[in-house]
Amino acid sequence: MKLWGGRFTKEENQLVHNFNESLSFDQKFYHQDIQGSIAHVTMLAKQGIVTEEDRKAIIDGLNSILADLESGKLAFTKEHEDIHSFVEANLIERIGDAGKRLHTGRSRNDQVALDMKLYCRDEIGEIDELVKNLLKELLTIMENNLDTYMPGFTHLQKAQPVTLAHHIGAYYEMFYRDRGRLHDIYERMNYCPLGSGALAGTTYPLDRAYTAKLLGFYGPTLNSMDSVSDRDYVIELLSALSTIAMHLSRFSEEVIIWNTNEYRFVEIDDAYSTGSSIMPQKKNPDIAELVRGKTGRVYGALMSILTMMKGIPLAYDKDMQEDKELTFDAIDTVKGCLALFTGMVATMTFNKEVMEASAKNGFTNATDAADYLVNHGVPFRDAHGIVGQLVLFCIDKGIALDDMTLEEFQAISPVFEEDVYEAISMKTCVEKRMTIGAPGQEAMKTVIEIYKGQLEK
C-alpha cells in the first residue's frame, strides 16, 4: 500500500505509477535522504516529540538500511513511489511501530527540498575539487612556458605575440571565476528547509535551528512556502555548470584546432585520442570533441528547469520532480568532462618551436615595428602605413619582417636602423609587455604568485 493509501478506494493504475514514480532516479540521493532523517529524528527526540527509545531504534534502522544499500544487500524495489517512501517503508519493515513515528512533523515536500539541497551541496564540493585540479594543471603548464612564444589571435587571425603561459592563463581566469560562482551558490543556498512541512510549517514544537546545525547549514530557511518550492539553487548550479561547460568547450575547440596537421601546436597523447575504423593514419581528438559536444545537454538542463519553474504557483507542485534527472545528468556530465579534460591537458605535448615559428610567420610583430617608428618620431598613423607597406613587401616575397635586409627596410622608410631587429624580435615584443595582465615574464610571474596564493586558500 502507498504511504498515502488511506483515503483511496482503488489501487493505482500501473501506468500512473510508472509515470508518477521517481524512485528510479531519486534513489541517487538515498544517502542524503537517510542523513536528513537521522537529523530529523534526533531533533524530534531532543524536543520530546519521540522517545529516546524510538530515536535509537529509528537511527539504528536507518543506519542498517544505509549499510545494506551500500553493500548491495538491499535493492530498490519498484513498487515504491520515491526514495522517501522506500526508506520509510523499509524502516517500518525492520523496526515496526517506531518506524511509523519518523515522519512526524515532516512532509515529503520539505524532505525532498532538503535531499536535493544536500545533494547539490555535496556535489558542489566535488565539482569545485575537480576545477581546482584543472587549475593546478594549468598552473604547471604556465610555469613551464613563460617564454614559449606563440601567436595571439583575434578573429582567429594572428594578431600579436603572446606566450603559452599567458594564453593558458586566460583559461585559468575563467575556471577560477567558476570556482567563485560555486562558492557564491553554496553561501546562498546553505539554509535548511526541513521543518517547513508540506508548506505551512507544523504544529509540533520543532527546533529547526538545531536540525539545520546538525546538517551543517548556516540556519533554517525563513519562509516555509518558499522553502518547499525553491529550486533557485538548482538553477544557479546549472547556470554555473553551463558556464564551466562553455569554458571547457572553448578550450576544447582550441585544442582541436591546435592539434590539426595545419597547426601542430599540440599533440594530444595517444591515451586520450582515438583512431578511425577505415583511415589508418587517423588520430582523432574525440575527448575534446565530446567535451565540446556535451555542453549542449548541460545548457539544455538549465533551460528545461528554468522553463519548468516559470509556471509554478506556490507552494509545492509535482512539476518540480522534473528537476532531478536533468540536474543529475548535468552534474555527472560536467564532472566527467572536467576529469577527462584535465587528464588530456596534463598529457598533451606542446610543440614550442612550431608555436614560435607560427608567431614569426604571421607578422605578429607588425605593431611593434610601428611602435619602433613612433619611438623615432614618426606619427603613429604614418607608422601604421609604413609597416603596412613592409607587410605587403614581405607577403610578396614570402618572408617575415625579421627576414628583411636593412636596405629593404630603409627603402621603405629611412628611419629604420640596425636596432630594428632587436626591437621586433619575438622576445622583445613579449617582454616589453610587462604591465600587470600582459604576457611579459615579469608580469606573468607576479600573476602566477597570486594564483598560487588563491589555490592554497
Taking the C-alpha atoms of residue 255 and residue 165, their distance in angstroms, rounded to an integer, is 15
Q: How far is the CB of 302 from ligand ARG (least distance, A)?
A: 19
Whichever of 3 and 412 has its CB closer to ligand ARG, that residue is 3
Q: How far is the CB of 25 from ligand ARG (least distance, A)?
A: 9
Q: How far is the CB of 121 from ligand ARG (least distance, A)?
A: 17
Q: What single-letter amino acid sits at 160?
A: Q
- Retrieve residue 40's grid coordinates: 530529523
Q: How far is the CB of 23 from ligand ARG (least distance, A)?
A: 8
The residue at minimum Cβ distance from ligand ARG is 321
- Contact between 99 and 58 (Cβ < 8 Å): yes
DSSP state of 277: S
Whichever of 115 and 356 has its CB closer to ligand ARG, that residue is 115
Grid cell 513498487 in the structure block, residue: 79
Whichever of 30 and 316 has its CB closer to ligand ARG, that residue is 316
Specify whether 84 is catalytic: no
Q: How far is the CB of 320 from ligand ARG (least distance, A)?
A: 5
Sign, Cα dihedral of 138, 144, 147, 149: negative
Whichever of 40 and 108 has its CB closer to ligand ARG, that residue is 108
Specify whether 276 is catalytic: yes
Whichever of 108 and 294 has its CB closer to ligand ARG, that residue is 108
Whichever of 2 and 264 has its CB closer to ligand ARG, that residue is 2
Q: How far is the CB of 112 from ligand ARG (least distance, A)?
A: 4
Q: Tell me which of 155, 229, 358, 384 is the catalytic residue.
A: 155
- Report long-range pairs for 258-263 (Cβ below 8 Å, ≥24 apart): 259/285, 259/288, 263/354, 263/358
Q: How far is the CB of 324 from ligand ARG (least distance, A)?
A: 6
DSSP state of 362: T
Q: How far is the CB of 22 from ligand ARG (least distance, A)?
A: 4
Whichever of 217 and 316 has its CB closer to ligand ARG, that residue is 316
- Contact between 146 and 130 (Cβ < 8 Å): no
Whichever of 148 and 327 has its CB closer to ligand ARG, that residue is 327
Grid cell 584535465 in the structure block, residue: 342
Q: How far is the CB of 86 from ligand ARG (least distance, A)?
A: 11
Total H helices, total E strands in the chain: 19, 6
Give a three-class secondary structure readout of the chain: CCCCHHHCCCCCCHHHHHHHCCHHHHHHHHHHHHHHHHHHHHHHHHCCCCCHHHHHHHHHHHHHHHHHHHHCCCCCCCCCCCHHHHHHHHHHHHHHHHHHHCCCCCCHHHHHHHHHHHHHHHHHHHHHHHHHHHHHHHHHHHHHCCCCEEEEEECCEEEEEEEHHHHHHHHHHHHHHHHHHHHHHHHHHCEECCCCCCCCCCCCCCCHHHHHHHCCCCEECCCHHHHHHCCHHHHHHHHHHHHHHHHHHHHHHHHHHHCCCCCCCEECCHHHCECCCCCCCCCECHHHHHHHHHHHHHHHHHHHHHHHHCCCCCCCCHHHHHHHHHHHHHHHHHHHHHHHHHHHHHHCEECHHHHHHHHHHCCCCHHHHHHHHHHCCCCHHHHHHHHHHHHHHHHHHCCCHHHCCHHHHHHHCCCCCCCHHHHCCHHHHHHCCCCCCCCCHHHHHHHHHHHHHHHHC
Whichever of 235 and 256 has its CB closer to ligand ARG, that residue is 235
Contact residues for ligand ARG, defined by CB under 6 A: 22, 26, 82, 108-109, 112, 316, 318, 320-321
Question: Which positions are catalytic?
Answer: 155, 276
